[in-house]
Chains A and B, each alone.
Chain A
Amino acid sequence: NAGVMQNPRHLVRRRGQEARLRCSPMKGHSHVYWYRQLPEEGLKFMVYLQKENIIDESGMPKERFSAEFPKEGPSILRIQQVVRGDSAAYFCATWGEAQETQYFGPGTRLLVL
């Protein structure tokens, strides 16, 4: 994954709680993509951020989901008032230098009870 880090790797939440997923892209990279993989489904784009800016959030659910990438620190995907349908694997990724390879983090597996 060339240094894309995500934590936690596994997260269990009860319905109604908040989930915070963190992603640190490779050193020197100032952009991040978030993707979601629902059980038995393909990966879907959620949001594209550059430092302090949301560039494209067309894949984000309209309610309860938000994302940020502050000047300092990791990118955060925040899910408020989680529901069982939010249970999924959430991946972040960045492009390599030559824009030929997208490097993925190991993912956060969210389980909502």
Chain B
Amino acid sequence: KNEVEQSPQNLTAQEGEFITINCSYSVGISALHWLQQHPGGGIVSLFMLSSGKKKHGRLIATINIQEKHSSLHITASHPRDSAVYICAVRGSQGNLIFGKGTKLSVKP
């Protein structure tokens, strides 16, 4: 079993829809990260969370440490949000341990 599980694996939405991507992890962590991988392959960090909730523009990330679960929400989705969204936890040496990613496609 992977240490980090994401769902769904693939997600198709219509422009304007509210989107939720879920992440569960099985190890104790100090922080959880959400990243975005663009269709061209580049990877950027969106959030680091250790508790509660963070918001950046139309993106909201939440974490429940007790339940070992995090969610990434996108409000008013847009075709430019189409990407792979990746959840990751930090390993003991500072390396990231990744989920398999959620491929999001937002249709106009």
Contact = CB atoms under 8 A, between A and B. Distances in A.
Interface size class of A (residues with CB under 8 A): 20 to 34
Contact of A48 (B45, B88, B95): B95
A7 interface: no
Interface stretch (A18-26, A68-76, A77-85, A101-109): A101-109
A55 B86 contact: no
A89 interface: yes
Interface residues of B, number: 20
A102 B86 contact: no
Contacts of A93: 43, 96
Given A42-B86, A42-B98, A104 B42 contact: yes
Contacts, number: 54
Contact of A104 (B43, B94, B97): B43
Q: Is the interface of A mostly helix, strand, loop or mixed?
A: strand
Interface in A1-45: 1, 31, 33, 35, 41-45
B4 to A, nearest CB: 8
A1 B42 contact: yes
A63 interface: no
A45 B86 contact: no
B106 interface: no
Contact of A100 (B48, B86, B91): B48
Contacts of A101: 45, 48
A110 to B, nearest CB: 13
B96 A56 contact: no
B93 A106 contact: no
Given A48-B93, A102-B33, A103-B45, 20 more contacts: A35-B96, A41-B100, A43-B43, A43-B96, A43-B98, A45-B91, A45-B96, A48-B95, A55-B93, A56-B93, A56-B95, A59-B95, A89-B41, A91-B43, A93-B43, A93-B96, A100-B31, A104-B42, A106-B41, A107-B41
